[in-house]
Chains A and B, each alone.
Chain A
């Protein structure tokens, strides 16, 4: 008989959180700290969503999404998680670019970028300063018709090399392109440029372990292997979820599942107004990804070549080419032993943006062949930077948009959530169905490590407000 993963669970909670991505976990933790009972349900065996890792023979631990995040994450972890987690954040030393237009290393912060743009690209300091101020001051209420392309053309007209320098890392960070609203670029770029790129010492596994410990301490009931297949709605109100064949009651359902799945699959179109549905159907997903994971043999070393390496062999930046199955651009994340003290092992992960459709409709045979091709071409590309990589690797495997879909259940395997318009739909869910909330990667700005964690906090504030109201109304009813 299958194991009962809900053994000992209560029949009702104040709130049920579906999915343990970074936003889901952060919201669950905040709600428990605010005194509400919380059940966190994860369909996978690992908690973390895309903040995840896997282990392979030979002592390899391979991170999926730990490529680097802005300094703001320290403050976010300190305020909404724990000092211990905030203290485990360390700065990455170097980011390297190598493409037909330029090759150099940078500490990826405002001071170094200003110097590089002056000295290598010949831009006047006043223009650079003005660009940084403009990017920094962009906010949510700005005019949305200006695209990132417009912004770049305004400051650096015709300079495709500068456009690439400014855009490529952000495209890898959140799947955005030159055609997305400039405000999304301004916010994310400024966050990174503040003081460089950071990571978690100990890797994703150590981080999620600490987060689990913190959630348990605060009283969150956390459950893995628990797949929610229905959000229960009655009279325009949520009343709980159906999970592993069992119904659990709650005043709030907070979905950290992908936005389209939350609306169309888990809740059901019949519960929404036609106008809302029409707008929800227009929400575009960001692209997905392919990755190649390379575990380096015990005892072998990789010379330091930077923590992140943005490579491309195409003439100019093109978001479309970045997703092409015929890969011409890759980001390599190098994991040195310092990241996981005590393990003394290296690993390298190559990431490329990818389209779901390119991978979803292949026959099994074609799919495996394409995966092998991806691995081969990645090793060949990496030989330029690590010449003897083939003799140093003792584990290599690839993931595709299909892999992302299987593990996260995201619509079209999206690895960066939705485009900008998704944020409005995500925020409006509770107006459609009382007690139904969504958090997760939406709107580009609420994506990535910092965006996801902060959106978890923002939504948990709304949930807390709602639950306090429900509870006080219930008290009044009782006293009457």
Chain B
């Protein structure tokens, strides 16, 4: 996966978790929590979906890496580089 693929993968997960939010206007550098109505359970959902869809494990200590889109991509891309997008 490229950085763009990882971004699309995260958007795909976010869209399923919070179907009422519009992620088109997402600003990559800003905290996800400040832009959208996401709580700590939603972030847990991201972790669970990453495991289910891409078989990657985000330990609790690394949850803070998911704070912005850019930090998500920085953290996830090395873990996902050998994978294809989930359909």
Contact = CB atoms under 8 A, between A and B. Distances in A.
A461 B48 contact: yes
Given A34-B52, A465-B51, A468-B51, A458 B57 contact: no
Pick from A34, A465, A468 the residue with the most CB of B within 10 Å: A465
B13 interface: no
Interface of A: 34, 72, 75-76, 79, 454, 457-458, 461, 464-465, 468
19 contacts: A34-B52, A72-B39, A75-B41, A76-B41, A79-B17, A79-B41, A79-B45, A454-B41, A457-B41, A457-B44, A458-B44, A461-B44, A461-B47, A461-B48, A464-B48, A464-B51, A465-B51, A465-B57, A468-B51
How big is the B interface, by class? 10 to 19
Interface string B32-47: 0000000101001101
Contacts, number: 19
Contacts of A468: 51
Contacts of A457: 41, 44
A374 B16 CA distance: 50
Contacts of B52: 34
A72 B40 CA distance: 12
Interface in B5-27: 17
Contacts of A464: 48, 51
Contacts of A454: 41
Contacts of B47: 461
B40 to A, nearest CB: 8
Nearest to A140: B40
A79 B44 CA distance: 12
Contacts of B17: 79
Nearest to A35: B52
Closest 7 CB pairs of A and B: A461-B48, A454-B41, A461-B44, A458-B44, A465-B57, A79-B45, A457-B41
